[in-house]
A and B are shown apart, each in its own frame.
Chain A
Amino acid sequence: MHDMSIALIELGLVVLALGLLARIAHHFGLSPVPLYLLVGLAFGHGGVLPIVKSTEFIELAAEIGVILLLFLLGLEYSAEELVSSLKSNSPAGLFDFVANFTPGFVAGLLLGWSPITSVVLGGVTYVSSSGIVAKTLTDLGRIGNRETPTILSILVFEDLAMALYLPIVTGLLIGSGIGTTLRLVGVALATVCLILAVALRWGHRLSRLIGRPNDEVLLLLVMGTALLVAGFANALNVSAGVGAFLVGIALSGPVAHGAQQLLSPLRDLFAAVFFVFFGLQTNPSDIPPVFVVALALAIVTSLTKFGTGYLAARRAGIAKMGSKRAGAALIARGEFSVVIAGLSVAAGGEPGLGPLVAAYVMILAVSGPILTRFVGVRRTPAPEVAAPVSTRT
């Protein structure tokens, strides 16, 4: 068969498998991310049906997936929201970082990995999945709850922290020797600060420049801008996704709202391919040996995350029940953890990291939403909210 035919058939099978699994995930109210990783494992090297001809396309599509993932995240926030959130929630955000970065970092060192790989693992355990958390809160009708602003502001802080963390890790991974690494990281951070300053100061002008064109024009203009900035950011070792994230923050008003609606389906497709790509690079047979480590790390970092949310909510004047809900809601890890680990895998880093993170994310992307559903929920006479594992106070 012609190469093109094989590539198309392979892609068709992958996307079809994603669709079927997403349907199952949706049916059970679960995040599809772990199932997408499973698709990647199945079609990857050592999987049941290794693909060969479409890997180049999948690699590029995966990169676009990361760009769109972060771009749409940036679109959700306005610059004012970020600044005011940063001002009022820094203590909780910093505590979150220390409490959840440290377990991953220490685990990396204990596994005998390099300090740089350990920094990567620290990042993996640090960030909650804003995608999964927001989806779970919406599904459970908890957006209006009083603990929700606390949860959201911690997520905002993490997303902003990523804008600094990702360039630093990129610099660490490709730099050789302290001198070059410092220079790379310095240039990257300066670029981030510059784009962020421009976004905060002149973002509304960019939105006005785009105006209110029809959907097709808006889609192409916005997508082009995001890819272009992502490309330049990549050239400066800022990591393409962060460039796109900052463009997303710069855009506001009707442009941001319209772009969000138009790009969401594209994001869903390409981000799913990204998770597949991460799975592709992982050999399924490497997972069982690291599963116990992943489980232990998942348990420890569930507790540290729970503590983070609980304390932050208590500090914000939330009662004990609500604080428990806030703690449980933050446990889920997902897309960001995979993005961080993907940087290291792409740079040819420690081979044990991919399988460990795949298992870790699969555990917490599934258990996070389940814990959110049942922790901090009072047993009531209404049977639909009564749950076997709910805690009573």
Chain B
Amino acid sequence: MEIHETPLPGVGTRYDFETSDGKQAGVVIHHTGRRELITFDRQDPDLCRDVVNLSEEEAETLAGLLGTARLKGPLKQLQQRIEGLTIDWIPILAGSTFADRPMGDTQARTKTGASIVAVVRGDEPFPSPRPDFVFKANDFVVAVGTTEGIRALGKILNG
């Protein structure tokens, strides 16, 4: 899938793409963390027809639903078993500074205390990735840590 990235000076970044059935859609990521989910009009291709405003938290939840629904069941159990720990998956967006860079560059554990325990690429899991593991856009990082640590990690990866 080809994703176009357009900078919006002073506002944020717009990512748009065409789905296989020909529908134009996209996401606007504001500097403030707000997200807009958009679809473009068929007759007037420059006009975004539907705008869904999402807070950072709502966007994360939606991303989870869309991206890794099949992991949802086991994860729920996992969360119940370990109190005080948060486990989360974080997508490496196409615009991330760490796409195509080794995991060690993120200094994730030093900076946030959170550990990256696995990376999921498409259907393929990479458990216990080493620091020289190279991220690709649209990878999902599975991380364990405190809630704040996980949030900070998300900011580092896609900030």
Measuring CB to CB, which residues of chain A are less than 8 angstroms from any residue of chain B?
Answer: 76-77, 81-82, 84-85, 130, 134, 141-149, 152-153, 155-156, 257, 318-319, 321-322, 325, 378
1-36 of chain B: CB within 8 A of chain A: 6-11, 14, 26, 28, 30-32, 36
Cβ of B48 under 8 Å from chain A = yes
Contact of A257 among B9, B31, B38 (CB under 8 A): B31
Q: With A149-B14, A257-B32, A378-B43 known to touch, is A141 a contact of B48 (CB < 8 Å)? A: yes
Residue of B nearest to A316 (CB): B46
Cβ of B51 under 8 Å from chain A = yes
Structural contact, B7 and A81, CB atoms closer than 8 A: yes
Measuring CB to CB, which residues of chain B are less than 8 angstroms from any residue of chain A?
Answer: 6-11, 14, 26, 28, 30-32, 36, 38, 40, 43-48, 51
Q: Complex Cα distance A148/B28, Å?
A: 12
B130 to chain A, nearest CB (A): 29
Contact of B48 among A77, A85, A145 (CB under 8 A): A145
The main secondary structure of chain B at its interface with chain A is strand
Q: Complex Cα distance A190/B43, Å?
A: 50
Structural contact, A144 and B7, CB atoms closer than 8 A: no
Residue of B nearest to A326 (CB): B46
The main secondary structure of chain A at its interface with chain B is helix
Contact of A82 among B9, B14, B51 (CB under 8 A): B9
Q: With A144-B28, A257-B32 known to touch, is A322 a contact of B10 (CB < 8 Å)? A: no
Structural contact, A152 and B32, CB atoms closer than 8 A: no
A261 to chain B, nearest CB (A): 9
Q: With A257-B31, A257-B32, A378-B43 known to touch, is A142 a contact of B10 (CB < 8 Å)? A: no
A153 to chain B, nearest CB (A): 6
In the complex, chain A residues whose CB is within 8 Å of the CB of B40: 146
Nearest 9 pairs of A and B residues by beta carbon: A322-B46, A144-B38, A146-B46, A144-B48, A76-B10, A141-B51, A81-B9, A156-B9, A144-B28
Structural contact, A147 and B9, CB atoms closer than 8 A: no
In the complex, chain B residues whose CB is within 8 Å of the CB of A143: 8, 11, 14, 28, 30, 36
Structural contact, B10 and A147, CB atoms closer than 8 A: no
Contact of B46 among A130, A134, A145, A153 (CB under 8 A): A145
In the complex, chain B residues whose CB is within 8 Å of the CB of A130: 10
